[in-house]
A and B are shown apart, each in its own frame.
Chain A
Amino acid sequence: MARYVARRILFVFITLFLIVSATFFLMKAIPGDPFTSEKEVPKEILESMKEHYGLNDPLYVQYGKYLLSVLKWDLGPSFKYKAQTVNDIINESFPVSFTLGLSALFIAISFGLILGVIAALYHNKWQDYTAMMIAVIGISVPNFILATFFQYLFAMKLNLLPVARWGTWEHIILPAFALSALPMAFIARLTRSNMLEVLHLDYIKTAKAKGLTKFVITYRHALRNALMPVITYLGPLAAGILTGTFVIERIFGIPGLGSHFVTSINNRDYTVIMGTTVFYSIVLLTLILLVDLAYGIVDPRIKLSGKGK
């Protein structure tokens, strides 16, 4: 176990190193510098600006400095918003994205499980078909389309919920549901197929023979084992929700990290793009690592070995 964990952590660091290096060199490969688009600036000022941001150093010095500052968790200044550093932007906006993501995660898991269980219990009946139809639609309709549809229907036509912005709990509902549709659909399908497998096992027959109620059998016996593969899906799920926030926050005008990221892409604000990418990668890789480790703990049948999967 210890060897496995060590190996996995090593892999996370290699991947992170790759991401940091790749982002750095990709950004350096772009022709021009961050001040190319500025209005006519006297040469001296341009030079001193370049000097200030360390753009006159040789490439390897810049690379070394960047690696060091990432290690110290200093992602540098924003080129577009002079008063803000990338750290400021992340500190300020990530909590918003985190709240939204967590709500979406909660919705995805709870609704996904319910749909999946219903579908499995009523296998090949209309409940099953309805649940799976919802799931396949959830997988097929891109989240930004679902989001605009929700906005149009619930906010503009029915006036039930606010169209956009951030603030009260009412603002969370539409974006969170739009964000959770895809993972919810995946969880529903996973739960269904796992439940179907588990329901045929002997220990369920035993539970039935003991005279337990259907409810107890489903929730205390079957669902527990059916949940295992769902846990492995939590890593990609988090990734999906995270990248989903890029578009969802943009559509709903939510001041989260996702919308900042998109703005920085459109502004070509390279330090912010780099810093946010590195930050997202750390969040994602840590989450996936935690999920994998948790999987080994939750399911004692799995013996983690040093040899990978």
Chain B
Amino acid sequence: MAQQVKLSKELFEPIERDLHKAEEITRPSLTYWQDAWRRLKQNKIAMVGLCVLAILTIMAIVGPWLNGYTYYDTNLKMKNLPPSADHWFGTDDLGRDMFTRVWYGARISLFIGISAALIDLVIGIIWGGLAAYYGGKVDEVLMRIADILYGLPYLLVVIMLMVVMEQGLLTIIIAMTITGWIGMARIVRGQILQLKEQEYVLAARSLGAGAARILFKHLIPNAMGPIIVTMTLTVPSAIFTEAFLSFLGLGVQAPIASWGTMANDGLGALRYYPWRLFFPAIFISITMLSFNIFGDGLRDALDPRMRK
């Protein structure tokens, strides 16, 4: 146990009681977002995820210009070269520079992931918001439709659509969002059902605010925490779906490179030219890992119940 400390009375002196001081707030008051950011900063793993994502984004922007090759120029004299000072990640079976292609693929994969998440967000907010705000019959109809669509096996639907539609970037995004928004709609609906009974909504309504104003100015901003977490976790699943589709030969068409198509190309060459699979594979995994750990950290930071 701790040492015995002698505490004599002389060590203490009375402080004059100041009634005004007692009411003073000494610490700066934090908004919800400042508080969440503070908690997020303490989560080292999540911050590593965030930093990696930042680096990946920067490299996706500048990477394709860094070593003077293009993602589509072929050079048959230089095919299947291992990584070297000239071609940092080696070359593929048509002599295209893998480093440039990997970062070009990062653009495509991140673009698909983020736009899928954004479209899900917009449809989900409108659908779920309307269902929850109006309740009753509207809710019943909207959510029944969502329930039925939710019952459709996601990847099968996406594959069917990809088979039928013309292949391309836009098609992939459409195919993924056509049933992808339902999760978001459910989250938004759940949040707004909880929020809409609160007094500030009543206050807004009695001040004459319309449905759209209440929904977008009052309810959605307060439901933003779970919405953002869902979005962060949608991105890796969209990136995975794109890679999966490309791997089945249903993704973006050459010469556009995505990580999925590159992994698919590299698969056949695994035994002799493993780097052709290795680089796209490692970057898909790192990206998904970063989004996942960042999303987990964000969820812990934004959920007040996780406060210790």
A148 touches B147 (CB 8 A): no
Residue B236 lies at the interface, judged by CB distance under 8 Å to chain A = yes
Which residues of the other chain, B, contact A151 by a CB distance below 8 angstroms? 270
Query: Are A144 and B244 CB-contacts (below 8 A) given A26-B160, A265-B249?
Result: yes
A281 touches B147 (CB 8 A): no
Which residues of the other chain, B, contact A239 by a CB distance below 8 angstroms? 153-155
Which residues of the other chain, B, contact A251 by a CB distance below 8 angstroms? 267
- Output the residue of A26, A144, A266 with the most chain B CB within 10 A: A144
Across the interface, name the chain A residue whose C-beta is closest to B143.
A308
Which residues of the other chain, B, contact A242 by a CB distance below 8 angstroms? 153
Residue B59 lies at the interface, judged by CB distance under 8 Å to chain A = no
Residue A64 lies at the interface, judged by CB distance under 8 Å to chain B = no
Interface of A is mostly: helix
A141 touches B285 (CB 8 A): yes
What is the CA–CA distance of A74 and B22 in the complex, to the nearest angstrom?
A: 81
A15 touches B152 (CB 8 A): yes
The total of chain A residues at the interface (CB under 8 A) is: 44
Residue B250 lies at the interface, judged by CB distance under 8 Å to chain A = yes
What is the CA–CA distance of A84 and B161 in the complex, to the nearest angstrom?
A: 25
What is the CA–CA distance of A19 and B288 in the complex, to the nearest angstrom?
A: 31
- Output the residue of A14, A145, A277, A285 with the most chain B CB within 10 A: A145
Q: What's the nearest-Cβ distance from chain A to residue B276, in Å?
A: 11
A11 touches B147 (CB 8 A): yes
Q: What's the nearest-Cβ distance from chain B to residue A208, in Å?
A: 24
Q: What's the nearest-Cβ distance from chain A to residue B307, in Å?
A: 16
B248 touches A246 (CB 8 A): yes
Give B contacts to A, CB under 8 Å: 147-148, 151-156, 159-161, 163-164, 236, 240, 243-244, 247-250, 263, 267, 270-271, 274, 277, 281, 284-285, 288-289, 292-293, 296
* Sample of 13 A–B contacts (CB below 8 Å): A30-B164, A136-B292, A144-B263, A148-B267, A149-B281, A152-B270, A152-B274, A239-B153, A242-B153, A247-B248, A265-B250, A266-B249, A281-B153
9 interchain residue pairs of minimum CB distance: A140-B289, A15-B151, A140-B288, A243-B155, A145-B281, A26-B164, A141-B285, A284-B153, A140-B292
